[in-house]
Structures are given as structure tokens and as C-alpha cells.
Amino acid sequence: MKKVKRVIVTMATCGLLSNALLPIVQTSVSYAEEISSLELESGQVQSEESTTPTESSTVEESSSVVESTESTEESSTESSAIESSTTSSTSTSSVPSSTGTSTSSTTTSSSTASVKPAKPQEQAEQVEKSEAQRDSAGDSAGISYKITKTFEGEEFIKLIGKDAQQVAKKNGIYASVMIAQAALESGYGNSLLASAPHYNLFGIKGSNGGKSVSMPTLEENASGDMYQIRSNFRSYDSYKDSLEDYAKLLKGGISGNEKIYAGTWRENAKSYREATRSLTGVYATDSSYHKKLNAIIVAYKLTQYDNGGRVEEVKYAVKSGDTLELIAKEHETTIEELKQLNEAIANVNVIHPGEVYIVKAEVKDEQEFDVPLDNYEVTSGYGTRTNPSDGVSTAEHRGIDLAADTGVEILASAKGVVVESGFNSSAGQYVIIEHADGYFTSYFHQSKRLVETGAEVEQGDVIGLVGSTGDSTGPHLHFAISESKWSDYLDPEELVTF
């Protein structure tokens, strides 16, 4: 597919703009989220500080994806799908706390309290909520989060990704969710509990075949006050052991409720987002827990581990005079990573010539979405932009504008089902497609729609023609990707290479 260089101009863009700029403030949160800053729409929220060292990373609320409550009126939702004029709201962000009552299967974030889980029927209700309900339920007025990737985060994910993919496939759960939880709960492997020699990524309490470690943690009393105690946490021989034990927890539940985590099973959750929603209020009390997990999944493109992405391994044959330290240095890795990738390494001081070790293993990203036009110019990106009409006012743009000649064919970005095909004064002639993993793609300002609601489309199918209908300043396609229909918009450039 031909790609055209990116240019930013003020022509051929969506015309609807607002003068509102969302205020941004900083807030500190706990180590369990591996977050050093969290930008909220308004208000500052403090959480309990952990003494456990972690990687410094950034999670911010993307002002361009802050959504107001979804309206039942199409004209309202379609207008807000292009530009944001959201008023400020406050949010309370609590530290993720895992649930369970049996010490042999109890989990907890090692910086926070164990709390009573939501009732099973409440979990089921979460999974079954309509898009509009679940978008606003417990999410502090629809606040979204955006992760800033770090090199250390990427290295951690590469380290556990292959094993997580295998364990998840064997147990019928989402690898993306497992990896995101491991990152969130362990600070990308930097917490003391997750580090060698314990490798406990998920804060699971109890004993693992007699192996445990006592560490301080926070509990919550009946009044909601936090107090510190010491608890025993499971100790593992490797990250893979931790992943396998966690998968057993999700599949086997806790004492007295074997299906408490059934909402995370692929047979019950049609997308990773349904799986993360089912964890909120059940595995963790943080009402935004699923949005934080989703942000990690999007930022690091973790769905590649769900979609059977190609695992690429680099192997090395040991030569005379080699040591693990030399091999690790030569391949820009660590002895610890080599141990994780090669179960055959029992003693780091004893290796033999001729032995073959995996020195790198990562899942190659197989991009789900494709650019919906063959020839285009990017005339307006996602996020804050200047009004193309007056060149002065600013607003949040919830998609990307691709300028092209009127009549150019618009292609389905990915396989899916057309859930809406119609006209609106703002979006003009538009088509919305729902995809198997629960994402939605939107195509606005068409001159002609070539598919109707209910149509099944393959990636690359022609669904319409470029135009300038609705609130538009010239022929172009407004293309958007979202987690809900008409809300929860994501930056397309996080998911598509333009």
C-alpha cells in the first residue's frame, strides 16, 4: 500500500471545533501501577506511597480522549466524536487491590490492602452492560489513561511475552491482559516481590510448595483506613512459574467461588476489554483498573500476543571460553533474562560448548489495522489542534484526517461488521465498523456510502468514497478508532502506521 509523506496543513479537515481546552494537573499514584504521574481532567488525588522501588513511567489522561456521558441522541454523539468540548470533572484513583479469602489462593497488590471482592452477580452485570453503561460505570466520568512507553517497560514485556502467550493459550485466557496485569502489579518487574529470587509478578499470597517470603503490605479496616501488616507471599523459581500459577488462579478461582474470574476467560469475554472490565471490582477495587490495563495494552500493542503473532527467536551456540556474562553482554541482554528464556540453565557458572541458548525472543507485531486509503495526506492529527476555519481557537480532535480527492475509494481498515451506516450533519455520510476484538473504526465525510448496517466486510473491502459531507472544509476522510461506539477514542497512530 502506497504511503505519502505526512504534512500538517489547515485544509481538508473536520470543521467542528470548540474553544475549550481541558485543564491538566498532576497527581501521584502508587507503585503498583508503575506510574509516576497521572494527569486527570481536574482535581489532584493522592494515594498511599509505597516503599518498594519501581521503574519511573508516565501514565496520563489523554485530554483528547476524555469523553462525556454517551448521549442517546445521534446528533450529540456524532458531533462529539470529532471534537471535544468536555467540561472538567473530578476523579478518585485508588490503588489496585486484589481479592480472595483463602491464603492459598489469595492475591493482593503488595502495596495495598486485600479487600472483599464484588459479588459474582455484580461481576456478571459488569460484563453484560451495554456500551454506554459500561463506558461510564465506575470510570470517573469516562476518564481515559494513556501510557508513555519506556525502554525498560518494553524489555520487561519482551522478557515475559513468549511465556505469557503460551500459558494464556493453554488456559484460554488473554495474554494481553496477563502481561498488562503483571506490568501494573509488579511495576514492570521492579518491585521487590517480583525481583529475584521471588519472581512474584501478581502479588499472590500464601505458599508455593513451601516457598514464601514475608513482606509488608497494607490492609483496609471496616472504616476504610489503611494499616500495615506483614503477609506471606508466594515465591517462585521463575517468571514462567508465576504466570502459570496466576493462570491457575484465573481458571480455578478461590475457595468457595471457583468461577469468580470466569469473566476473564476467552469463552466468556469477546475482547480483552471485557476481560479487564470483569477484573474491576473483583480482582481489584480501583474503579479505573480496567482502563489502566487497557492503556498498557494499547501502548505496548499487547494484542499481538493474543492474535498469535510470530515469535522470533535468536539462538546462540556456546563456544569454548564463553561465559553467560559474555554471552549476555554480546547480545545486549542479562544473565537473568537468559535464565528466563532457557530452562536448561541450572547453574549460571556451568555451561558447555555446543549448547544452544535462546538469547532473544519476541513476538513480532502483526498490525491488525491498515490505512483505509491508498493515497492520502495527513492534514490533521489526533489531539489538540487549531480551528481550520479561524486559525485561532483550539479543540480536541478525536481521529485523524486523511486528505484525498473526492471519489477515492475508502477501504475497511480491518475485518468486521458494519454497525452503523448513515448521515449526520457533523459526520456527514459515515460508516462505523465493529471488529472481533471489540474495537470500532469510524469513517466520516464520505461522498457515498457503499455498505449498509449489518454488512460483513473483510480488510481492504471498499466501503465508501471520499467526500466532504457534513462539517468539513474539503475532501478528506476523518478516520477514528475507538473502544466503544461514539466514545473512548484512541490515537489511530498508536495502532496504525501511516
Q: What is the CATH number of the domain that holds 349?
A: 3.10.350.10
Helix H or strand E segment including 327: helix 324-330
Q: What is the pLDDT along the chain (498 residues), one digit of tens a residue?
A: 444 433 333 345 565 432 222 222 222 233 333 333 223 222 222 233 333 333 334 444 433 332 333 333 344 455 556 655 433 333 332 333 333 323 334 444 333 333 333 433 333 333 333 333 333 333 333 455 778 889 999 999 999 998 999 999 889 999 999 999 999 999 999 999 999 999 999 999 999 999 999 999 887 788 878 889 999 999 999 999 999 999 999 999 988 999 999 999 988 888 888 899 999 989 888 888 999 999 999 889 898 888 765 556 789 999 999 999 999 999 888 888 888 778 788 888 889 999 999 887 665 555 578 999 999 999 999 988 887 767 788 888 899 999 999 999 999 999 999 999 999 999 999 999 999 877 899 999 999 999 999 999 999 999 999 999 998 989 999 999 998 899 889 889 878 878
Task: Verify that 398 and 468 share a domain, yes or no.
Answer: yes
Task: Verify that 441 and 342 share a domain, yes or no.
Answer: no
Task: Verify that 429 and 326 share a domain, yes or no.
Answer: no
User: Burial code of 176-205, b = ≥16 C-beta within 10 A, e = fewer?
Assistant: bbbbbbbbbbbbbbbbbbbbeebbbbbbbb
Domain presence at residue 121: no
Task: Verify that 357 and 400 share a domain, yes or no.
Answer: no
Task: Verify that 389 and 321 share a domain, yes or no.
Answer: no
Q: What's the rounded Cα separation, in Å, for the pair 201 and 238?
A: 10
Task: Verify that 354 and 405 share a domain, yes or no.
Answer: no
Domain presence at residue 192: no
Structural domain of 316: 310-364
Note the pLDDT of residue 114: 33
Note the pLDDT of residue 364: 53
Task: Verify that 442 and 394 share a domain, yes or no.
Answer: yes
Q: What's the rounded Cα separation, in Å, for the pair 29 and 473?
A: 43
Question: Which amino acid, 85?
Answer: S
Q: Which residue, 364, 385, 408, sits at the end of a domain?
A: 364
Note the pLDDT of residue 17: 35
Task: Verify that 487 and 381 share a domain, yes or no.
Answer: yes
> What CATH number does residue 423 fall under?
2.70.70.10
CB-hemisphere CA count at 13 Å for 131?
14
Q: Is the pTM of this model over 0.85?
A: no
Domain presence at residue 182: no
Domain presence at residue 333: yes
Note the pLDDT of residue 22: 23
State the Cα angle at 185 between 183 and 187, rounded to 5°. Answer: 55
Domain presence at residue 441: yes
Q: What's the rounded Cα separation, in Å, for the pair 494 and 107?
A: 32
The CB density around residue 223, as the number of other CB atoms within 10 Å, is 5
Domain presence at residue 484: yes
Task: Verify that 382 and 330 share a domain, yes or no.
Answer: no
Task: Verify that 385 and 453 share a domain, yes or no.
Answer: yes
Note the pLDDT of residue 94: 30
Number of folded domains that form the chain: 2
Contact between 228 and 216 under an 8 Å Cβ cutoff? The reply is yes
Length of the chain: 498
Note the pLDDT of residue 385: 83
Domain presence at residue 271: no
Task: Verify that 407 and 351 share a domain, yes or no.
Answer: no
Helix H or strand E segment including 291: helix 289-299
The CB density around residue 172, as the number of other CB atoms within 10 Å, is 14
DSSP states of 364-389: EP--S---S-SS-EEEE-SEEEE-TT
3-state DSSP helix/strand/coil % of the chain, to nearest 5: 25, 25, 50
Q: Which residues are CB-neighbours of 297 under 8 A, at least 6 positions away? A: 176, 177, 179, 180, 272, 276, 303
Contact between 165 and 304 under an 8 Å Cβ cutoff? The reply is no
Task: Verify that 487 and 399 share a domain, yes or no.
Answer: yes
Domain presence at residue 140: no
Q: Are strands 487-490 and 476-484 parallel, antiparallel or unpaired?
A: antiparallel
Note the pLDDT of residue 392: 82
Q: Which residue in 317, 315, 357, 321 sits closest to 340, CA to CA? A: 357
